[in-house]
Chain A
Amino acid sequence: VSHHGLGEFEQMVLLAIVHLGGESYAVPIVDEIERRTGRSVSRAAVYVTLRRLEEKRLLSSWLGDSTPERGGKARRHVKLAAEGARALREARQMADRMWHGVSAAMLRTR
């Protein structure tokens, strides 16, 4: 967990948004994480995380237009905020620093 409080799953959600062009909504985010990690993801966990990230001001959101294939309900779009991008960069740097100097040989267990 970084000093922004970014957990592993939060990082995954933010990165999925980045991969989707920095702006998307829940359905493709879930698909993106599942496609890239090869693991199935709890949809509920994604919604809860999106809400939390928005509360932390790492994301911003707005309602789109309603469409008939969605039963007349609007999409909730999310966009990576500047603070969110910074949190991701910091998380990356921290991980890089920790990985620096670690070789494959060092990871071999006896």
Chain B
Amino acid sequence: LRRVLPEDVRDAIEGDLHELYVRRRSGSGTTRAQLWYWWATLSLAARFAQSRLAETLSHVLGRDAVPSALDFTLGVRMLRKYPGLALVGGMGMAVATALGAGSFEFFNSYLYPDLPLHEGERVVSIINWDVRRGTDDPHILRDFAVWRDEAKSLADVGAFRTVRRNLIDSTGLSGLVSVAEMSAAGFRVAQVPPYRGRALVDADERQNAPAVIVISHDVWTERFNGDPDIIGRTVRLGRVAHTVVGVMPKGFAFPVNHRYWVPLRADTAAYPAGDGPALKAFARLAPGVTRGNAQAELTLIAERRAEARRETHARFVPRVVNYGDILFETAGNGSMIVVIQTVLPMLLVLVCLNVAMLVYARTVVRTGEIAVRTALGATRDRIVMQLFTEALVLSLLAASVGLGLVAVALRFVNGVLDEGGVPFWVSPGLSPSTVAYALALALLGAIVVGVVPALRATRGQLRTALSSLSGGSKPQLGRTWTAMIVTQVAVAVCTLPPAMLMGRHWVSQALTRPGFPADEYLSADLRLEREDNGVVAAADAQVELRKTMRASQSALVEGLEADPRVAGVTFGAGIPGYHPHELVGFDNSPLVRGARVARIGTDYFKVLGVKLVAGRAFRSIDSALPTARPVIVDRTFVDQVGLGSDIIGRRIRFPLWSNGRWVDPAQIESREIVGVVEDFPAGNIGVDDPGDTRATLYEPIAPGELQTVTLFVHVRGTAATFATRLLAIAAAADPTLQLRDVQSVERAYALERRWMEMATLALVLVVGSVLLLSAAGMYAMMSFIVSQRRREIGVRAALGGGARHILTSVLARAALQLGIGVLAGLVLVVVVDRLAIGGELLSRTGLIVIPVTALFMIAVGMIAAAGPARYGLRIQPTEALRSE
């Protein structure tokens, strides 16, 4: 209120409000009086802000250019009077605003955050940019040490990586947690003192120092029930016991969303340059130093190192970037973000131009009303302002719907992005700057939708406009609109089929059921916790790891099979349906086919209930073979190859395409197809792209062979209820065995489907609004053009022209325009198909979708043209002639 009230009345109004508040408090209680006070303050602030804005506008633009309350009322009335236009235009603008405001919110809150830390703007992220590969290199252990030791412009430099560990407290297994292995400098960069105990210190980073851990306030209250003696208690992360040395205050989650911190103990000397664990570095600028100064110093340091060791250092350039970049695998995407931020508002402008055409058609219909207003003394500015305000009402409505869509999408993204929570600097809900941005977009939209048609419609002379009231000549639109119709049809024909193809595929995926009782199977990703620095390069270390993994996996399977609720246990790489695609070649044949390659345990088919159709199933001995293990294929694979039952015994080689190049088949071992199974799971589950095959090829793997496998437990009853038991059995088998995503297979599919559903919803909204706008815009233009010729049609009829002949000539012209549009659209489709989609569109599905879209647009156009033409024919010849 203080900000918007004029100074001369501020104190008096505050006094009045206080006086009324005191009066109400004694009458109806404190709470109601307080509510009233806030409401009164807000409404006063809004009213004065509006009156201030109006004053400013009238100073800048002149008195006529200030929208009045009546203009807004008229705007609302217009929405009611033309509900079709309001719905179609509003929906298009809402979707476009949602895309613009959504990306703005995302980039602003995630990438360009105001860090809620002391002098947060001085905290930056540092990356090592690989000039040759055009990406940042995470193996920065050595560089980090150099930055830390040499850069004077950085007060503190820290690094971290996120690891997952089984946290085990005195009660047994508590589950898998994300832990920040962070240099002690992190706590100095954040400048947040611990709530209890101490933060990590440099001495903790020494290789032989005792293992310590700092926990978050949440963890302290939730997992340790706010134990007052928490400092000094031990918790185990995997096999290693850590002493709790500190509790951080509520809300602290630096560097991203962390709740556990252990010291980063990476021995720089143990790794060659450019090797070591993948780390992220951050720093706080030294007092008085700008980001530019820091960048200059780091560049200088890098150049000096590059001179000394050209072969390893020349291609890396350190970059001081926004702290938000720490979130992403590839940092420094600034230019791409600028492009997105420019393109999305352009999309809004495009949509608005479409709506503007509709509004223009409506404005021209209102020429008479405008003329009368002008005759009564309204200036052009006044009329333009009125039309602008009408458009503003529509665009504000669209912006609020758009913001609603953004809020829903944000909730979804934040929910999915990380189970550990969103980054500490992201506050939930829409930020005020996003709301302001959406309002700015609404203003931009209103200018395009309202002012452009208004200027065009009010350009003519008053006399012309008035004469139109009595049936004189009307504004001409000519070739511009013909071009617009052609563009409209072409764009629809070109953009809708690919979108429909994608949408159809996604919908079919979302509706597909797996064809087996997925809710009876519990799945979990299984991996062995590696408590080293994550680099196991030596061959013997790999062998050792496999041996341990095999032993742990077997112990787990044994433990599970001993449980009476378990009907069977097996494993594979990924959940059924979601497997990598490979190119497969046949021996003695030029045949090459794509297939999903599923790597599975030998009892996979038995446990998951997949029926064998021909040949034999896998045997345990198959996975024990060091090379040339047999494979089994599914029905779709057989159908695609077209060999029928002859496929058993055929030999194949894969992958023919690896690391972006063809592999010589002679270099790959050949495998024998020993069996055929039914398609599993049913439908298109796991086929993300309509162009991908669903043919599947199975190869056997032995326990321990993969460092991460998916475990499948067939449970008697509902699988989800067995999750806790599974965790307990796993902890008993091996405390370092990590189980991630413990959920029923049904739920795993449901999560995949959720993305599909969101994507489908977004696609339907975007495509639906494009199609509606396109069709409505074309309808308006077409019927408008033909209605311009209504009198001509009447005159021709009066002069003896046959009705059919006249109608044909009018429709022929419309058909020509539509035909050119369809043709242009088809050319675009072919180009898009060749360049981007790879021929999929012009296959069977596309051949149905494209003509349907073209026919739809033609039908809309012809109906739009036929209506006014028939009306023209009904005009009495005498009336038509008299008007001429």
B-binding residues in A (CB < 8 A): 25-27, 42-45, 47-48, 51, 63, 66, 69-76
Task: Quote the shortest CB–CB distance from B434 to chain A (angstroms).
Answer: 28
Chain B neighbourhood of A74, CB < 8 A: 11-12, 15
Top 5 A-B pairs ranked by shortest CB distance? Answer: A73-B15, A44-B47, A76-B12, A71-B18, A70-B15
Between A and B, 25 residue pairs with Cβ closer than 8 Å are: A25-B16, A26-B16, A27-B16, A27-B19, A42-B47, A43-B44, A44-B44, A45-B47, A47-B13, A47-B44, A48-B47, A48-B48, A51-B9, A63-B12, A69-B19, A70-B15, A71-B15, A71-B18, A72-B15, A73-B14, A73-B15, A73-B18, A74-B12, A74-B15, A75-B12
19 more CB-based (< 8 A) A-B contacts, given A43-B44, A75-B15, A75-B16: A25-B12, A27-B16, A43-B40, A44-B44, A44-B46, A44-B48, A45-B47, A48-B48, A48-B51, A51-B9, A63-B11, A66-B15, A71-B18, A73-B11, A73-B15, A74-B11, A74-B12, A76-B9, A76-B12
Measured in the bound complex, the distance between the Cα atoms of B6 and A74 in whole Å is 15
Assuming the A-B contacts A70-B18, A70-B19, are A42 and B43 also in contact, with contact meaning beta carbons closer than 8 angstroms in the complex? Answer: yes
Chain B neighbourhood of A76, CB < 8 A: 9, 12
Would you call B13 and A26 a contact (CB within 8 A)? yes
Task: Quote the shortest CB–CB distance from A47 to chain B (angstroms).
Answer: 6
Chain B neighbourhood of A44, CB < 8 A: 43-44, 46-48
Measured in the bound complex, the distance between the Cα atoms of B14 and A47 in whole Å is 12
Measured in the bound complex, the distance between the Cα atoms of B40 and A104 in whole Å is 41
Would you call A73 and B12 a contact (CB within 8 A)? yes
Would you call B18 and A51 a contact (CB within 8 A)? no
Instruction: Determine if B837 is an interface residue (Cβ-Cβ < 8 Å).
Output: no
Instruction: Determine if B20 is an interface residue (Cβ-Cβ < 8 Å).
Output: yes
Measured in the bound complex, the distance between the Cα atoms of B22 and A44 in whole Å is 19
Measured in the bound complex, the distance between the Cα atoms of B51 and A72 in whole Å is 27
Task: Quote the shortest CB–CB distance from B679 to chain A (angstroms).
Answer: 69
Q: What secondary structure prevails in chain B residues at the interface with A?
A: helix
Chain A neighbourhood of B44, CB < 8 A: 43-44, 47
Contact with A along B24-54 (1 / 0, CB 8 A): 0000000000000000100110111001000
Tell me the nearest residue of chain B to A70, going by C-beta. B15
Task: Quote the shortest CB–CB distance from A70 to chain B (angstroms).
Answer: 4
Chain A neighbourhood of B6, CB < 8 A: 51
Measured in the bound complex, the distance between the Cα atoms of B6 and A47 in whole Å is 11
Chain A neighbourhood of B22, CB < 8 A: 69
Tell me the nearest residue of chain A to B47, going by C-beta. A44
Chain B neighbourhood of A73, CB < 8 A: 11-12, 14-15, 18
Task: Quote the shortest CB–CB distance from B50 to chain A (angstroms).
Answer: 9
Number of interface residues of B (CB under 8 A): 19
Measured in the bound complex, the distance between the Cα atoms of B40 and A86 in whole Å is 33
Measured in the bound complex, the distance between the Cα atoms of B18 and A66 in whole Å is 12
Task: Quote the shortest CB–CB distance from A60 to chain B (angstroms).
Answer: 13
Chain B neighbourhood of A70, CB < 8 A: 15-16, 18-19
Chain B neighbourhood of A43, CB < 8 A: 40, 43-44
Tell me the nearest residue of chain A to B22, going by C-beta. A69
Contact with A along B2-13 (1 / 0, CB 8 A): 000010010111
Task: Quote the shortest CB–CB distance from B737 to chain A (angstroms).
Answer: 67
Assuming the A-B contacts A27-B19, A51-B6, A76-B9, are A71 and B14 also in contact, with contact meaning beta carbons closer than 8 angstroms in the complex? Answer: yes
Task: Quote the shortest CB–CB distance from B280 to chain A (angstroms).
Answer: 52
Tell me the nearest residue of chain A to B45, going by C-beta. A44
Q: Which among B6, B13, B19, B48 has the highest number of chain A CB atoms within 10 Å?
A: B19
Q: Which among B6, B46, B51 has the highest number of chain A CB atoms within 10 Å?
A: B51
Chain B neighbourhood of A51, CB < 8 A: 6, 9
Chain A neighbourhood of B40, CB < 8 A: 43
Tell me the nearest residue of chain A to B21, going by C-beta. A71
Chain B neighbourhood of A26, CB < 8 A: 12-13, 16
Chain A neighbourhood of B11, CB < 8 A: 63, 73-74
Measured in the bound complex, the distance between the Cα atoms of B12 and A63 in whole Å is 8
Chain A neighbourhood of B18, CB < 8 A: 69-71, 73
Task: Quote the shortest CB–CB distance from B72 to chain A (angstroms).
Answer: 16
Measured in the bound complex, the distance between the Cα atoms of B8 and A63 in whole Å is 10
Measured in the bound complex, the distance between the Cα atoms of B11 and A47 in whole Å is 13
Choice from A27, A42, A47, A69 contacting B9 with Cβ under 8 Å:
A47
Chain B neighbourhood of A42, CB < 8 A: 43, 47
Task: Quote the shortest CB–CB distance from B685 to chain A (angstroms).
Answer: 60
Chain B neighbourhood of A69, CB < 8 A: 18-19, 22
Measured in the bound complex, the distance between the Cα atoms of B19 and A75 in whole Å is 10
Chain B neighbourhood of A75, CB < 8 A: 12, 15-16
Chain A neighbourhood of B15, CB < 8 A: 66, 70-75
Task: Quote the shortest CB–CB distance from A34 to chain B (angstroms).
Answer: 13
Tell me the nearest residue of chain A to B20, going by C-beta. A27
Chain A neighbourhood of B48, CB < 8 A: 44, 47-48
Chain A neighbourhood of B46, CB < 8 A: 44
Measured in the bound complex, the distance between the Cα atoms of B15 and A70 in whole Å is 5
Measured in the bound complex, the distance between the Cα atoms of B20 and A25 in whole Å is 13
Task: Quote the shortest CB–CB distance from A20 to chain B (angstroms).
Answer: 15
Measured in the bound complex, the distance between the Cα atoms of B1 and A44 in whole Å is 12
Query: Within residues 324 to 361 of chain B, which ones have a CB less than 8 A from any CB in chain A?
Result: none
Query: Within residues 213 to 259 of chain B, which ones have a CB less than 8 A from any CB in chain A?
Result: none
Task: Quote the shortest CB–CB distance from B438 to chain A (angstroms).
Answer: 25
Chain B neighbourhood of A47, CB < 8 A: 9, 13, 44, 47-48
Chain A neighbourhood of B12, CB < 8 A: 25-26, 63, 73-76
Query: Within residues 846 to 860 of chain B, which ones have a CB less than 8 A from any CB in chain A?
Result: none
Measured in the bound complex, the distance between the Cα atoms of B18 and A89 in whole Å is 35
Task: Quote the shortest CB–CB distance from B11 to chain A (angstroms).
Answer: 5
Measured in the bound complex, the distance between the Cα atoms of B2 and A73 in whole Å is 14
Measured in the bound complex, the distance between the Cα atoms of B69 and A42 in whole Å is 15
Tell me the nearest residue of chain B to A63, going by C-beta. B12
Tell me the nearest residue of chain A to B6, going by C-beta. A51
Chain A neighbourhood of B13, CB < 8 A: 26, 47
Task: Quote the shortest CB–CB distance from B876 to chain A (angstroms).
Answer: 34
Task: Quote the shortest CB–CB distance from B186 to chain A (angstroms).
Answer: 47
Task: Quote the shortest CB–CB distance from B19 to chain A (angstroms).
Answer: 5
Task: Quote the shortest CB–CB distance from A105 to chain B (angstroms).
Answer: 32
Measured in the bound complex, the distance between the Cα atoms of B12 and A73 in whole Å is 6
Task: Quote the shortest CB–CB distance from B575 to chain A (angstroms).
Answer: 60
Chain A neighbourhood of B51, CB < 8 A: 48
Task: Quote the shortest CB–CB distance from B318 to chain A (angstroms).
Answer: 57
Tell me the nearest residue of chain A to B19, going by C-beta. A70
Task: Quote the shortest CB–CB distance from B592 to chain A (angstroms).
Answer: 76
Tell me the nearest residue of chain B to A50, going by C-beta. B9
Chain A neighbourhood of B14, CB < 8 A: 71, 73
Measured in the bound complex, the distance between the Cα atoms of B44 and A66 in whole Å is 22
Chain B neighbourhood of A48, CB < 8 A: 47-48, 51
Measured in the bound complex, the distance between the Cα atoms of B17 and A69 in whole Å is 10
Tell me the nearest residue of chain B to A72, going by C-beta. B15
Task: Quote the shortest CB–CB distance from A41 to chain B (angstroms).
Answer: 12
Chain A neighbourhood of B16, CB < 8 A: 25-27, 70, 75
Task: Quote the shortest CB–CB distance from B44 to chain A (angstroms).
Answer: 5
